[in-house]
Amino acid sequence: MRHIISILMENEPGALSRVVGLFSQRNFNIETLNVAPTEDPSLSRLTVTTVGDDRVIEQITKHLNKLIDVVKLVDLTEGNHIERELMLVKVKALGAARDEVKRTVDIFRAQIVDVTPSLYTVQITGDASKLDAFLQAMAPVGILEVARTGVSGIARGDKVLSL
Amino acid sequence: MELLSGADMIARFLQDEGVEYIYGYPGGAALHIYDALFRQDKVKHILVRHEQAATHAADGYARASGKPGVVLVTSGPGATNAVTGIATAYMDSIPMVVLCGQVMSHLIGDDAFQETDIVGVTRPIVKHSFSIRHPSEIPEVLKKAFYLASTGRPGPVVVDIPKDMTAPTERYEYVYPKKVKLRSYNPVTRGHTGQIKKAVEMMLKAKRPVFYTGGGVVTGKASEGLTDLVKQLGFPITTTLMGIGSYPQSDRQCLGWLGMHGSYESNMAMHHADLIIAIGARFDDRVTNNTSKFCPTAKIIHVDVDPSSVSKTVRADVPIVGPASSVINEMISLVQGQAITHPEALTDWWQKIDGWRAEREGKLYEPSKPGEVLKPQEVIEALCRVTRGEAYVTTDVGQHQMFAAQYYKFDKPNRLITSGGLGTMGFGFPAAMGIKQNFPEDDVVCVTGEGSFQMMMQELSTCKQYGVGVKIVNLNNASLGMVRQWQDLNYKSRHAHSYMESLPDFHMLIEAYGFTAITVRTLDELEPALERAFANKHELVFLDVKVDPHEHVYPMQVPLGAMRDMLLSKTERT
């Protein structure tokens, strides 16, 4: 099963490589990875999506918690949560397809953020499956470049991941 | 307020931390630190002949004393040479602090002379690592390094120190940090009381219980408590290789050690148990054999200080995360005054176990006949007699390691010093060196083989420099015995590169360093030679004992089988 694990870790050089290294060292799987500092500059928040059965996920969270740089973590998929990913896509927009792309962008509630005579750059946010669906819809027109941030997430309700 | 250079801070900190010995090898990036050590006399530096030996010596010292071992090496090759020793300590959870010189900060990343990203190289084999970014942070970082290395589940910590951080011209305030706090690191100090109660209830109700205890009991200094608990309950106990001595082996309740080359009765008892009480052990593959066939009728209580060890390979029914000593003490207080529910079942259980014991008695190996080549097992038995079972025994890796663990009877913890997890050939001799320097009045013997010994034999020179009187028992079968055994069993005796075609004359080699060597060929020469070797505690003596190259280590678990599936000799199996 797919899990989204969010980690608060020391904003120190080398901390990220310890987390990433752990996954390869222990043969765990990383689907997406997203990391940036938080409002507290001494902390970074890292969100990783991974796939594994309960036993594997238990090991992943235990080993992550063991890293000295990891301060706190939560498996967001254990409860209700909001999951978002941002994607920038360059798609061909020539002739009749130009209007078609615009219409599809509207349907997906995406935005065109840059324009040239031959292409549109589209910005779209949502969960991973929405982004996948948009790519699928654009495939016949011609996708030129894709930049995805990887999943970020937060728990619904009063639950807070902080110190 | 005292102003010190980074290098002087390091020397001062080591003094304030109570470090007596550090093991190392100088080089460009570490020279400021070496100069600071030269200008003081509290911390003694031992110059090894290869950095790997520095880590093993510090490791041996740490295992025997329970205090962190300290290593100092230079950047690049100095640091990479230490890697095997760091990995050895990591796999066996040994407290160690490794100080590595590094090229100057402004050169990092330029492929400078003797530059290696040692923090990157060692990342998967350390508990944690630090890079010094300003000289003023040296005291705090070093305190954190020692704290991390020696608390919770211990392990090695690497501190990378760019040369400019130790420059003699720049001085900063030095205060020894008495306390240290890491917001993300709070090792557990006790187990969950409810879980411990539940475990004790299961223990009292068990019909076929077995204690299975590991290195965590030894490093967690919980052997006394464990012995009390096991004696109170009257249960059988088996230990892992790393746990040998956590319960006295000469006691009737001790079944020896378990796993791949464990005793017949240990593996049989584990397989048939209805309750396994695992403490400070990690269900390693050399113990469990095939986990899907592991102990089919047993419930499992697993006590470990490291939560990631629990349910890693075998699911625990009652997981307890906590230090062995405090959990055991809580168990003792709950067991006190309580009677076990099924005393008659326990009596039956012991009858069964004694039956297994009797089956193998006198059949473990065939002793040599007069005038014939010696069996390695009888060498270890003689060694145990001559040293009254009280020596610190270090080993390298292979058949001799298994024989030492099987035939030397250890009644105390920290006495068998062996590379269990990583299985590092070359570990034994430098480890013995580290122990002997700290316990000069004790007998310290390295049981080795001619293959392993040649991996670290340059340390004879270190022993000469510091007058280290270790004894070396070289079980010389002129082949890599364990490799040869596997080739006999699995490759139709095609001995691919497992023989030693051109061995040195060990006698001459040892004498070249000014030490005594004794060659032993027959049984009647054996004990007198051992007596002679151990007569003087402060003299290094090397026994080159020619042993039977055809001997195999048994029992040996059948690969992918259950605990009870064992080869018992070249012709028998369970």
Query: Per residue in B22-46, pLDDT tens?
Result: 999 999 999 999 999 999 999 999 9
Name the closest residue on chain B to residue A69, using Cα atoms. Answer: B184
Kindly give, in sequence order, each residue whose CB lies less than 8 Å from that of residue B348, ignoring residues fewer than 6 positions away. B207
pLDDT band at B362 (very low <50, low <70, confident <90, very high): confident
- Give the three-class secondary structure for A13: coil
Is the CB of residue B42 less than 8 Å from the CB of residue B13?
no
Residue of B137, B147, B184 to mutate, interface with A, max A Cβ within 10 Å: B184
Domains and CATH numbers, chain B: 3-173 (3.40.50.970), 193-360 (3.40.50.1220), 376-553 (3.40.50.970)
Contact list in A for residue B306 (CB cut-off 8 A) is: 66
pLDDT tens digits along B163-213? 999 999 999 999 999 999 899 999 999 999 999 999 999 999 999 999 999
| C-alpha distances in Å from residue B263, one per residue of A41, A46, B44, B139, B266 | 56, 48, 42, 48, 5
Which of B124, B184, B315 lies at the smallest CB-CB distance from A71? B184
User: Could you give the domains of chain A?
Assistant: 2-79 (3.30.70.260), 82-152 (3.30.70.1150)
Nearest CA in chain A to B149: A68
Q: What is the CA radius of gyration of chain A?
A: 18
DSSP letter for each residue of A38-59: -SSTTEEEEEEEEE--HHHHHH
Report CA dihedral (B479, B480, B486, B490) to the nearest 10 degrees. Answer: -60
Mean pLDDT of chain B: 96
Q: How far apart are CA B132 and CA B169, in angstroms?
A: 17
Which residues of B are part of the catalytic machinery? 51, 113-114, 163, 482
- Tens of pLDDT, residue by residue over B562-573, are 999 999 999 999
The predicted model gives B112-130 an average pLDDT of: 97
Residue B93 contacts A, CB cutoff 8 Å: no
* Confidence at residue B371, expressed as pLDDT on a 0 to 100 scale: 87
- B361 pLDDT tier (thresholds 50, 70, 90): confident
CA distance B10 to B174: 10
From chain B, pick out residues whose CB is under 8 angstroms from the CB of A69: 184
Note the ipTM here: 0.92
Query: Which band of pLDDT confidence, cut at 50, 70 and 90, is reported for residue B330?
Result: very high
pLDDT in the model for residue A163: 86
Strands (E), chain A: 2-10, 32-37, 43-51, 70-75, 81-92, 111-115, 119-126, 143-148, 152-155
Please state, in angstroms and rounded to a whole number, the distance separating the CA atoms of residues B475 and B451.
Answer: 10
B-contacting residues in A 108-137 (Cβ below 8 Å): none
Q: Smallest CA–CA separation between A124 and chain B, in Å?
A: 36
Distance CA B467, CA B164 (A): 35
What digits encode the pLDDT tens for the residues B238-274? 999 999 999 999 999 999 999 999 999 999 999 999 9
CB < 8 Å to B91, chain A: none
Q: Say if the Cβ atoms of A70 and B184 lie within 8 Å.
A: yes
Residue-by-residue pLDDT tens, chain A, 163 positions? 999 999 999 999 899 999 999 999 999 999 999 999 999 999 999 999 999 999 999 999 999 999 999 999 999 999 999 999 999 999 999 999 999 999 999 999 999 999 999 999 999 999 999 999 999 999 999 999 999 999 999 999 999 999 8
B29-38, B394-403, B496-505, range with the lowest pLDDT = B496-505
Q: Flag if B308 and A17 touch (Cβ within 8 Å).
A: no
Q: Given a cut of 80, is residue B1 above it in pLDDT? A: no
B307–A14 CB contact, under 8 Å: no
Q: Is B188 exposed, middle or buried (0-12, 13-18, 19+ CB in 10 A)?
A: middle
Give the confidence band of B123 by pLDDT, cuts at 50, 70, 90: very high
Minimal C-alpha gap between A14 and chain B (Å): 8
CA–CA gap between residue B69 and residue A128 (Å, rounded): 49
Burial class (CB in 10 A: 0-12, 13-18, 19+), A13: exposed
Residue B449: pLDDT band with limits 50, 70, 90: very high
Q: Which residues of B touch A9 (CB under 8 A)?
A: 184
Q: Hey, what are A93's tokens?
A: 């927009």
Average pLDDT over residues B534-549: 96
Query: Which of A17, A55, A68 lies closest to B182 in CB terms?
Result: A68
CA distance B322 to B307: 8
Q: Is some CB atom of chain A closer than 8 A to the CB atom of B148?
A: yes
Q: Are strands B318-321 and B392-395 parallel, antiparallel or unpaired?
A: unpaired
Q: How large is the average pLDDT for residues B495-512? A: 94
pLDDT of residue B209: 98
Cβ contact B289:B560 at 8 Å: yes
Closest Cβ–Cβ partner in B184, B307, B311 for A68: B184
CA gyration radius, chain B: 24
Q: For residue B305, which residues of chain A lie inside 8 Å, CB to CB? A: none
Window 108-137 of B: residues touching A by CB (8 A cutoff) are 119-120, 123-124, 127-129, 131
Helix (H) or strand (E) holding B146: helix B138-150
A56 at interface of B, judged by CB pairs closer than 8 A = no
Closest CA to B63 of B93, B43, B100: B93
Taking the C-alpha atoms of residue A141 and residue B257, their distance in angstroms, rounded to an integer, is 68
Q: Could you give the 3-state DSSP secondary structure of residue B378?
A: helix
**CB-CB: which of A9, A68, A163 is closest to B128?**
A68
Q: Let me know: does B70 contact B14? Beta carbons within 8 Å.
A: yes
Interface contact A59-B129, CB threshold 8 A: no
> How far is the C-alpha of B44 from the C-alpha of B115, rounded, in Å?
27
pLDDT of residue B159: 98
- Is it true that the peptide bond before A140 is cis, omega within 30 degrees of 0? no
Cβ pair A21:B124 closer than 8 A: yes
Q: Give the separation between CA B142 and CA B308, rounded to whole angstroms.
A: 26
Q: Residue B363: its pLDDT value, please?
A: 87
